[in-house]
Structure formats: C-alpha cells, structure tokens
Amino acid sequence: MNNKAFQALSYGVYIVSTWNEGTPAGCTANCAAQITATPATVMVSINKNNFTHDCIRKCGYFSLTVLAETSDPAIIGTFGFRTGKDYDKFAHVQWQVRDKLPVLSDGCAYVCCKVIDSMDTATHTVFLGEVIGADTLRTDPPMTYAYYHTVIKGKTAKNAPTYIAEQPEPKAKYVCKICGYVYDGETPFEQLPDDWKCPLCGAPKSMFEKR
C-alpha cells in the first residue's frame, strides 16, 4: 500500500465544537464533508481519544468552523495539539454562539448540526449530522489541508485520520515539542528573541528542541 495515494485526497481544516456541560469544547479536524443536500447532512470523523469526541456523544450536537487561509494558524495548534481535558482552548480564541453552538469567529464559514447517526471505526467515530444552521463569516478562501502543510508547514496531529506514523523529517533542526512545527526561518533559531513563540501553537521558544 502506497500512502502517497492518500495524500492525493483533498481535505479542509475545521474546528469541531460542542458543549461540555455548559462550557465549549472543540478540536481540529480535517475529515469533514457534506453528504446530502436535501436534507442537508454532513459528516465528521473524530478520534475516540479526543476529549471532544465524548462531549459530542453526550451533547448530541456539533458545529464545524471552516478555517480560512487567513485564519490565525495558532488556532490549529491550540485545537489540534492540546487537550481540552486540562486546557481551556476557547480562552485563547474569539468565539460566538450560533444556532446554540460555539463557533470560532476567525473562520470563513460555519455549519451547525444535530447528530443523527454515527459509525464506529477502529480509531475514529464518524458522526453524521443534520444541518440546523449554516452561514458564511467572511469571503476569504477556505484553508485546504494541502495549504496547511505546504504554506503554513504544519504537521499532522497523531489523532488525525490522515496521520502516518513514520513521516520523513525534512532536515529538521528545531522542533516544537507541543505541535511538531519545524522552524525553518531565515534567522538562526538561537538568534530569535526570547519572547518569540511557535507560530502554530503559541508555545514559547523554550518548548523547541534541537534534532
């Protein structure tokens, strides 16, 4: 099996949100799609180990915020490489309530859903949602997963459906221990200011390790 074939599939970058007993919970997802138009239904695949997974099960509702190419990439780090079990992700972003669900403000569209079915797979649950509300937030083009990898130079989180255990490391030097971001800027890493932060997850310079 050639894993490169999977890399030819197209994905977006989404923040899936729901409620955890009155407080917002959410995670990054790249596998979401519209399944039918009438009635409008969408699916999203969520790793069973994600805190958000059990919250969606309990709440029965979820929202998808579609990130734009212009969205702050730190959102992906915050929602994709940290866990809501012990970290308040929503304290670090602007969000609002739409159709009674938490939605991130820094996206280009959102879709709110009621869970109507789910499918168990080895590592993920595929939630099928009937759309209860959807709107655009701004006209910037949506971020594709390819854009995230090639332009933002982000990594695949371990809980993502598209994660491949042995990804080749391109001449890695300084790597963020939180999100896996590899620094490749013009300025030598040692010369970056002390208050420099990981552009993907916001972790301080001290969280980078030399490899």
- The residue ranges that bind Fe ion (CB under 5 A) are 176, 178-179, 181, 198, 200-201, 203
| Residues 108 and 140 sit within 8 Å (Cβ to Cβ) | yes
> Least distance (Å) from Fe ion to the CB of residue 22?
29
Query: CA nearest 144: which of 67, 83, 40, 65?
Result: 67
φ, ψ of residue 59 to 5 degrees: the values are: -75, -40
Asked if residue 39 has a cis previous peptide bond (ω within 30° of 0), the answer is: yes
Among 33, 24, 30, 104, which residue's Cα sits nearest to residue 56? 24
Choose between 26 and 129: whose C-beta lies nearer to Fe ion: 26
Residue 120's closest CA among 30, 209, 45?
45
Question: Toward Fe ion, which CB reaches closer, 27 or 113?
Answer: 27
Instruction: Retrieve residue 24's tokens.
Output: 């917002």
- Give yes or no for a contact between 108 and 66, defined as CB atoms under 8 angstroms apart: yes
Token pair listed for 67 = 């990130």
Of the two residues 114 and 197, which places its CB atom closer to Fe ion in the complex? Answer: 197
Minimum distance of Fe ion from residue 92's CB (angstroms): 13
Select 104 or 179, whichever has its Cβ closest to Fe ion. Answer: 179
Task: Report in angstroms how near the CB of residue 79 gets to Fe ion at its nearest.
Answer: 12
* Cβ closest to Fe ion, residue 127 vs residue 208: 208
